[in-house]
Amino acid sequence: MTQPREPERAAAHPPQTTAVALLSGGLDSVVACALWLADGGAIARALTFDYRQRAVERECDAAERFCRKRRIAWQRVELPWLAELAQRAGSALVATARELPAGTRQTPGDEQSAAAVWVPARNAVFVASAAAFAETLGAGVVIAGFNREEAATFPDNSAAFVDCATAMLALGTRTHVRVASPTQPLDKPGIVAAARRLLIRPDDVWSCYRGDPLPCGRCESCLRSARAWGG
């Protein structure tokens, strides 16, 4: 686990407006953080989780650039045990021998493609881990970049997941950390509209499942993003 980079500046904010952010460097998480900041909130630390996913270096680069620009403490958190479980489960996000599912602009993903890239309990692990950071950093909120569009096939993006995670953390943390997702009510075009208002460009984020020099343009994440940006 890396040490946090950049000084933390959120100490003056009350816990209810201070967050630890789940920041993958993708469109949703970057916009969720930017919306939180634009609404007057503070981010004590942003976390990018390394479970040996194909795009980890690209994700970390995008997340760190976002945090450097906004002077947010950023930390890469390695989860080798989750990588091992994802490999064992055959997730195409980490198992490079398994081909990533490809879709179309009209149908970028479905239940079958969601199952192919599923990482066991990933968002549940991320939220619980971030809550442990929040409890020790004086933050009362975990920020996540979920969205309504992907919730149709990824239930851990849903409003119900946010509510249940908050209920769990009310008992699982001494400070009653809650989960918030400014992007969850939005679909991808709505998130892109918010990105444009916040002056976030497509090359400010990394939304491809692969870690190649350029986005592949074929995976579900690329297709959803391209359709939303209108590219």
The string of pLDDT tens digits covering residues 6-23 is: 545 444 677 789 999 999
Domain assignment of residue 106, yes or no = yes
pTM, two decimals, is: 0.91
Domain assignment of residue 201, yes or no = yes
Q: What is the pLDDT of residue 231?
A: 56
Distance in angstroms (rounded) separating the CA atoms of residues 147 and 135:
25
Q: Using alpha carbons only, what angle is made at residue 17 by residues 70 and 49, rounded to the nearest 5 degrees?
A: 55
Domain assignment of residue 66, yes or no = yes
Domain coverage including residue 165: 15-229
Tell me how far CA of residue 130 lies from CA of 44, 86, 109, in angstroms. 11, 20, 28
Residues 155 and 161 sit within 8 Å (Cβ to Cβ): yes
Distance in angstroms (rounded) separating the CA atoms of residues 100 and 109:
11
Tens of pLDDT, residue by residue over 63-72, are 999 999 999 9
Structure tokens at 103: 């879709």
Q: What is the pLDDT of residue 95?
A: 74
Domain assignment of residue 35, yes or no = yes
Q: What is the pLDDT of residue 112?
A: 84
Q: Would you give the distance in Å from CA 67 to the centre of its chain?
A: 14
Q: Residue 187 belongs to a domain with what CATH number?
A: 3.40.50.620
Backbone angles phi, psi at 205, to 5 degrees: -125, 165
Domain assignment of residue 62, yes or no = yes
Q: Output DSSP code: residue 196.
A: H
Nearest to 129 by CA among 18, 20, 207: 20
Tens of pLDDT, residue by residue over 138-185, are 999 999 999 999 999 999 999 999 999 999 999 999 999 999 999 999
Distance in angstroms (rounded) separating the CA atoms of residues 145 and 123:
10
| Residue percentage of the chain with pLDDT more than 90 | 81
Tens of pLDDT, residue by residue over 179-222, are 999 999 999 999 999 999 999 999 999 999 999 999 999 898 99
Q: Using alpha carbons only, what angle is made at residue 17 by residues 12 and 23, rounded to the nearest 5 degrees?
A: 105
Domain assignment of residue 2, yes or no = no
* Mean pLDDT of all residues in 16-43: 97
Instruction: Work out how many domains the chain is built from and give that number.
Output: 1
Domain assignment of residue 88, yes or no = yes
